[in-house]
Amino acid sequence: MKSIVVLLASIVIGAMALPAMAQGYRIQSGDTLLIEVLEDESLNREVLVPPDGRINIPLAGTLRASGRSVEQVSNELAQLLAPNFASQPNVFVSLGSLNEPREPFRRTIDVFVIGEAGSPGRHTPESGTTLLQFFGEMGGFSRFAATKRIMLRRTDKSGKETVYQFNYDAMLDGTGTGASTKLADGDVIVIPERRLFE
Protein backbone atom coordinates (compact mmCIF):
# COMPACT_ATOMS: atom_id res chain seq x y z
CA MET A 1 0.00 0.00 0.00
CA LYS A 2 2.79 2.36 0.95
CA SER A 3 4.58 1.72 -2.36
CA ILE A 4 1.37 2.55 -4.28
CA VAL A 5 1.05 5.87 -2.41
CA VAL A 6 4.70 6.72 -3.17
CA LEU A 7 4.18 5.85 -6.85
CA LEU A 8 1.06 8.03 -7.10
CA ALA A 9 2.83 10.90 -5.36
CA SER A 10 5.77 10.71 -7.77
CA ILE A 11 3.40 10.75 -10.76
CA VAL A 12 1.58 13.82 -9.43
CA ILE A 13 4.84 15.63 -8.69
CA GLY A 14 6.16 14.76 -12.15
CA ALA A 15 2.98 16.05 -13.79
CA MET A 16 3.28 19.29 -11.80
CA ALA A 17 6.95 19.73 -12.71
CA LEU A 18 6.38 19.53 -16.49
CA PRO A 19 4.13 22.61 -16.75
CA ALA A 20 6.52 24.47 -14.44
CA MET A 21 9.41 23.63 -16.75
CA ALA A 22 7.37 24.62 -19.80
CA GLN A 23 6.54 28.01 -18.30
CA GLY A 24 10.18 29.02 -18.02
CA TYR A 25 11.30 27.28 -21.19
CA ARG A 26 11.97 29.20 -24.40
CA ILE A 27 11.03 27.37 -27.58
CA GLN A 28 13.86 26.68 -30.02
CA SER A 29 14.09 25.35 -33.55
CA GLY A 30 13.78 21.58 -33.62
CA ASP A 31 11.20 21.50 -30.82
CA THR A 32 7.80 19.96 -31.50
CA LEU A 33 4.69 21.90 -30.42
CA LEU A 34 1.26 20.39 -29.82
CA ILE A 35 -1.51 22.83 -30.77
CA GLU A 36 -5.11 22.32 -29.72
CA VAL A 37 -8.04 24.59 -30.61
CA LEU A 38 -11.18 23.59 -28.69
CA GLU A 39 -13.57 25.28 -31.11
CA ASP A 40 -12.17 23.62 -34.26
CA GLU A 41 -10.52 20.19 -34.04
CA SER A 42 -9.33 20.45 -37.65
CA LEU A 43 -6.76 22.98 -36.44
CA ASN A 44 -5.28 20.57 -33.91
CA ARG A 45 -1.80 19.54 -34.98
CA GLU A 46 1.78 18.71 -34.10
CA VAL A 47 4.20 21.30 -35.47
CA LEU A 48 7.97 21.06 -35.81
CA VAL A 49 9.65 24.45 -35.29
CA PRO A 50 11.86 24.99 -38.39
CA PRO A 51 15.37 26.54 -38.37
CA ASP A 52 13.97 30.06 -38.93
CA GLY A 53 11.84 29.67 -35.77
CA ARG A 54 8.54 30.57 -37.48
CA ILE A 55 5.52 28.26 -37.66
CA ASN A 56 2.59 28.42 -40.07
CA ILE A 57 -0.93 27.62 -38.86
CA PRO A 58 -4.05 27.55 -41.09
CA LEU A 59 -6.35 30.58 -40.59
CA ALA A 60 -3.67 32.24 -38.44
CA GLY A 61 -0.75 32.56 -40.85
CA THR A 62 2.88 32.69 -39.75
CA LEU A 63 4.08 33.57 -36.28
CA ARG A 64 7.40 33.45 -34.50
CA ALA A 65 7.78 30.61 -31.99
CA SER A 66 11.53 30.41 -31.38
CA GLY A 67 12.74 32.30 -28.33
CA ARG A 68 9.26 32.59 -26.81
CA SER A 69 7.36 30.70 -24.14
CA VAL A 70 4.46 28.38 -24.96
CA GLU A 71 2.11 30.85 -23.24
CA GLN A 72 3.22 33.69 -25.51
CA VAL A 73 2.73 31.57 -28.62
CA SER A 74 -0.63 30.35 -27.35
CA ASN A 75 -1.86 33.91 -26.68
CA GLU A 76 -0.75 35.26 -30.06
CA LEU A 77 -2.21 32.29 -31.87
CA ALA A 78 -5.57 32.84 -30.14
CA GLN A 79 -5.55 36.50 -31.25
CA LEU A 80 -4.66 35.62 -34.84
CA LEU A 81 -7.45 33.02 -34.99
CA ALA A 82 -10.05 35.23 -33.30
CA PRO A 83 -11.39 36.89 -36.51
CA ASN A 84 -12.42 33.41 -37.72
CA PHE A 85 -14.65 32.73 -34.69
CA ALA A 86 -17.64 34.38 -33.01
CA SER A 87 -15.52 34.83 -29.87
CA GLN A 88 -11.83 34.37 -29.14
CA PRO A 89 -11.05 30.65 -29.33
CA ASN A 90 -9.48 28.58 -26.59
CA VAL A 91 -6.02 27.71 -27.83
CA PHE A 92 -3.60 25.48 -25.97
CA VAL A 93 0.06 25.09 -26.96
CA SER A 94 2.32 22.59 -25.25
CA LEU A 95 5.73 21.07 -25.79
CA GLY A 96 5.59 17.74 -27.58
CA SER A 97 9.32 17.05 -27.62
CA LEU A 98 12.49 19.06 -27.17
CA ASN A 99 15.15 19.50 -29.75
CA GLU A 100 18.15 17.26 -29.17
CA PRO A 101 21.45 18.41 -30.60
CA ARG A 102 22.50 16.41 -33.65
CA GLU A 103 26.10 16.34 -32.52
CA PRO A 104 26.76 15.37 -28.91
CA PHE A 105 28.85 17.73 -26.87
CA ARG A 106 32.51 16.82 -27.28
CA ARG A 107 35.12 17.67 -24.72
CA THR A 108 38.86 17.32 -25.03
CA ILE A 109 41.26 15.44 -22.79
CA ASP A 110 44.94 15.93 -22.02
CA VAL A 111 47.31 13.24 -23.28
CA PHE A 112 51.08 13.50 -22.84
CA VAL A 113 53.59 11.98 -25.25
CA ILE A 114 57.19 11.31 -24.21
CA GLY A 115 60.02 10.01 -26.35
CA GLU A 116 60.35 9.25 -30.04
CA ALA A 117 57.15 10.80 -31.36
CA GLY A 118 56.70 13.04 -34.37
CA SER A 119 55.26 15.64 -32.01
CA PRO A 120 56.02 14.96 -28.32
CA GLY A 121 54.42 16.99 -25.55
CA ARG A 122 50.85 17.63 -24.47
CA HIS A 123 48.03 16.93 -26.91
CA THR A 124 44.30 17.60 -26.51
CA PRO A 125 42.37 15.00 -28.52
CA GLU A 126 38.60 14.72 -28.31
CA SER A 127 37.17 12.40 -25.68
CA GLY A 128 36.63 8.99 -27.25
CA THR A 129 39.77 9.11 -29.42
CA THR A 130 41.33 5.66 -29.77
CA LEU A 131 45.01 4.86 -29.42
CA LEU A 132 45.45 4.17 -33.13
CA GLN A 133 43.68 7.40 -34.08
CA PHE A 134 45.92 9.29 -31.69
CA PHE A 135 49.09 7.90 -33.24
CA GLY A 136 48.04 9.63 -36.45
CA GLU A 137 47.13 12.83 -34.64
CA MET A 138 50.47 13.09 -32.84
CA GLY A 139 52.36 13.08 -36.13
CA GLY A 140 53.59 9.49 -36.10
CA PHE A 141 57.00 8.42 -34.83
CA SER A 142 60.62 9.45 -35.24
CA ARG A 143 62.91 7.10 -37.15
CA PHE A 144 64.45 6.00 -33.86
CA ALA A 145 61.15 4.88 -32.28
CA ALA A 146 60.79 1.37 -30.89
CA THR A 147 57.24 1.01 -32.18
CA LYS A 148 56.93 -2.55 -30.86
CA ARG A 149 57.36 -1.42 -27.23
CA ILE A 150 55.02 1.55 -26.85
CA MET A 151 53.82 2.08 -23.27
CA LEU A 152 50.62 3.66 -22.06
CA ARG A 153 50.78 4.80 -18.43
CA ARG A 154 47.39 5.43 -16.85
CA THR A 155 46.70 6.63 -13.30
CA ASP A 156 43.27 6.00 -11.77
CA LYS A 157 41.42 8.25 -9.31
CA SER A 158 43.05 6.53 -6.33
CA GLY A 159 46.51 7.35 -7.68
CA LYS A 160 47.37 3.80 -8.76
CA GLU A 161 49.32 3.66 -12.02
CA THR A 162 48.92 0.85 -14.55
CA VAL A 163 51.29 0.39 -17.48
CA TYR A 164 50.11 -1.20 -20.73
CA GLN A 165 52.41 -2.20 -23.60
CA PHE A 166 51.41 -2.10 -27.25
CA ASN A 167 52.96 -3.18 -30.53
CA TYR A 168 52.15 -0.58 -33.19
CA ASP A 169 53.48 -2.73 -36.04
CA ALA A 170 51.14 -5.57 -35.03
CA MET A 171 48.23 -3.13 -34.83
CA LEU A 172 48.82 -2.12 -38.44
CA ASP A 173 48.82 -5.66 -39.80
CA GLY A 174 45.78 -6.62 -37.72
CA THR A 175 47.50 -9.15 -35.47
CA GLY A 176 47.98 -6.86 -32.46
CA THR A 177 45.53 -5.64 -29.86
CA GLY A 178 44.83 -2.23 -28.38
CA ALA A 179 44.08 -0.23 -31.54
CA SER A 180 40.56 0.55 -30.31
CA THR A 181 41.65 1.39 -26.73
CA LYS A 182 40.06 4.74 -25.83
CA LEU A 183 42.39 7.26 -24.28
CA ALA A 184 41.61 8.82 -20.92
CA ASP A 185 42.39 12.23 -19.49
CA GLY A 186 45.93 12.31 -18.12
CA ASP A 187 47.23 9.33 -20.10
CA VAL A 188 50.99 9.32 -20.74
CA ILE A 189 52.29 7.57 -23.86
CA VAL A 190 55.97 6.63 -23.73
CA ILE A 191 57.73 5.79 -26.99
CA PRO A 192 61.19 4.41 -26.20
CA GLU A 193 64.22 4.65 -28.44
CA ARG A 194 64.99 1.64 -30.58
CA ARG A 195 67.87 -0.54 -29.41
CA LEU A 196 70.89 -1.14 -31.62
CA PHE A 197 69.71 -4.35 -33.29
CA GLU A 198 65.95 -3.90 -32.74
Q: Where are the domains of the chain?
A: 18-97, 111-191
Instruction: Note if the pTM is more than 0.75.
Output: no
Q: Which helix (H) or strand (E) holds 90?
A: none
pLDDT band of residue 99 (cuts 50, 70, 90) is confident
3-class state of residue 131 by DSSP: helix
Query: 145 and 191 in contact (C-beta within 8 Å)?
Result: yes
Please give the share of the chain, as a percent, with pLDDT higher than 70. Answer: 84
Q: State the pLDDT at residue 105.
A: 55
Report, as an integer, the average pLDDT of 33-40: 92
Rank 115-119, 129-133, 185-189 by mean pLDDT and report only the highest.
185-189
pLDDT band of residue 177 (cuts 50, 70, 90) is confident
Q: State the pLDDT at residue 195.
A: 87
Which CATH number is correct for 18-97, 3.10.129.10, 3.40.50.300, 3.30.1950.10, 3.20.20.70?
3.30.1950.10
Q: What is the pLDDT of residues 125-173, one digit of tens each?
A: 998 899 999 998 888 899 999 999 999 999 988 889 999 999 998 888 8
Report, as an integer, the average pLDDT of 85-110: 80
Which CATH number is correct for 111-191, 3.30.750.24, 3.30.420.40, 3.40.50.720, 3.10.560.10?
3.10.560.10
Query: 153 and 188 in contact (C-beta within 8 Å)?
Result: yes
Contacts of 37 (CB under 8 A, 6+ apart): 43, 44, 81, 89, 90, 91, 92
Q: State the pLDDT at residue 36.
A: 93
Report, as an integer, the average pLDDT of 9-13: 39
Q: Fill in the DSSP letter of residue 159.
A: S
Report, as an integer, the average pLDDT of 55-60: 91
